[in-house]
Amino acid sequence: VSVTDRCDFRCVYCMPEHMSFLPKADVLSLEELDRLCSAFVRKGVNKLRLTGGEPLVRRDVMKLIRALGRHLDTGALKELTITTNGSQLARYASELVDCGVKRINVSVDTLDAEKFRAITRWGDLDKVLAGIEAALAAGLKIKIVALRGVNEHELPDLIAWAHGKGMDITLIETMPMGDVDADRTEQYLPLSLVRAELSKLYSLEPTDERTGGPARYVRVKETGGRLGFITPLSHNFCESCNRVRLTCTGTLYMCLGQEDAADLRAPLRASADDALLDAAIDEAIGRKPKGHDFVIDRRHNRPAVSRQMSLTGG
């Protein structure tokens, strides 16, 4: 669930520097987001991940997180979690724990402050690292999402750092989503190659461990930590995907790599009763496709879908 399309960073693989954002009137209120999420929970969704844009820059977002926490109390929801760039974590870490959040994903591509600034354009690495420390101190389990891009040679260091702090780390391939003022063929590196390189440094032991998402994990013998690979391009996992993505305007995408979507805002706003909404959700889920259409190579140098990743949040 993307709770906002806005962000305090402008990562080079995610957004152009001069990004145009949605008019506020199009964006669902926190109450509407709650009603929509609750409809999905009623239908059996037991894991919610809040994302963005940057979820923690949405005004009063903690009110939504606290409200959704009630579904954890009843047992209807098994996990409430967020994906964040970490810039606001120092402020919110303990409150997140208080709302029932146990595990979060923080996206950090590099531990080099200058490179971090170059990748995020506007980000301050020290703030993010302080946020991560605060989250660890508050007892959150953290998964670091290191995105393949310009950090290829730093991956062994990132792995050692994450595992040294007891965090999982997952690598993900760049996906061709939206125009970003950059050449995707330059950004894309198949993780099969990364894995082969890492195997020269580390003993990667296969495991069946899963955290419910698309990552496939190995255990790094030397560090004892878990390393995940998300490979939507080099090895797609569409057959086991049970995810859908909701934007902050109430648009439901049944696949990250397809244009097909369902508008849930109209049925949501049409009546205070949830019958129309429930019917729209059922109809949309029935259209979930078999798989995505992502390809990155010299002949396919255009985005597979025109929207940015920040619309659906990952």
* DSSP letter for each residue of the chain: -B--S--S---TTT--SSPPPPPGGGSPPHHHHHHHHHHHHHTT--EEEEBSS-GGGSTTHHHHHHHHTHHHHHTS-SEEEEEE-STTHHHHHHHHHHTT--EEEEE---S-HHHHHHHHSS--HHHHHHHHHHHHHTT-EEEEEEESSS-GGGHHHHHHHHHHTT-EEEEE----BS--SS-HHHH---HHHHHHHHHHHS-EEE-----SSS-EEEEETTT--EEEEE-TTTS--GGG----EE-TTSEEES-TT---EEE-HHHHHH-SSSHHHHHHHHHHHTT--S------BTTB-S-SBSS-HHHHT-
When asked if residue 310 is in the footprint of ligand SF4 (CB under 6 A), the reply is yes
Among 174, 211, 247, 258, binds ligand SAM (CB under 6 A): 174
Among 34, 53, 110, 230, binds ligand SF4 (CB under 6 A): 53
Question: Restricting to residues 106-165, which ones interact with ligand SF4 according to CB under 6 A?
Answer: 107, 120
Which among ligand SAM, ligand SF4, none contacts residue 249 (Cβ within 5 to 8 A by kind)?
none
Check: CB of residue 308 under 8 Å from CB of residue 178.
Answer: yes
Which among ligand SF4, ligand SAM, none contacts residue 145 (Cβ within 5 to 8 A by kind)?
ligand SAM
Among 1, 7, 90, 255, binds ligand SF4 (CB under 6 A): 7
Specify the residue, 162 or 198, whose C-beta has the smaller distance to ligand SF4. 162
Which among ligand SF4, ligand SAM, none contacts residue 15 (Cβ within 5 to 8 A by kind)?
ligand SF4
The 261-263 sheet, strands edge to edge: 245-246, 251-253, 261-263
Gap between the Cα atoms of 282 and 271, Å rounded: 17
Among 13, 40, 202, 294, binds ligand SAM (CB under 6 A): 13
Binding mask 64-103 toward ligand SF4 (x if CB under 6 A, else -) reads ---------------------x------------------
Among 10, 226, 245, 292, binds ligand SF4 (CB under 6 A): 10
When asked if residue 104 is in the footprint of ligand SAM (CB under 6 A), the reply is no
When asked if residue 14 is in the footprint of ligand SAM (CB under 6 A), the reply is yes
When asked if residue 230 is in the footprint of ligand SF4 (CB under 6 A), the reply is no
When asked if residue 38 is in the footprint of ligand SF4 (CB under 6 A), the reply is no
When asked if residue 34 is in the footprint of ligand SF4 (CB under 6 A), the reply is no
Inter-helix orientation angle 89-98/125-137, to 10°: 20
Which among ligand SAM, ligand SF4, none contacts residue 162 (Cβ within 5 to 8 A by kind)?
none
When asked if residue 15 is in the footprint of ligand SF4 (CB under 6 A), the reply is yes
Q: Which residues bind ligand SF4 (CB under 6 A)?
A: 7, 9-11, 14-15, 52-54, 85, 107, 120, 310
Q: Which residues bind ligand SAM (CB under 6 A)?
A: 7, 13-14, 51-52, 54, 83-85, 107, 145, 147, 172, 174-175, 177, 309-310, 313-314
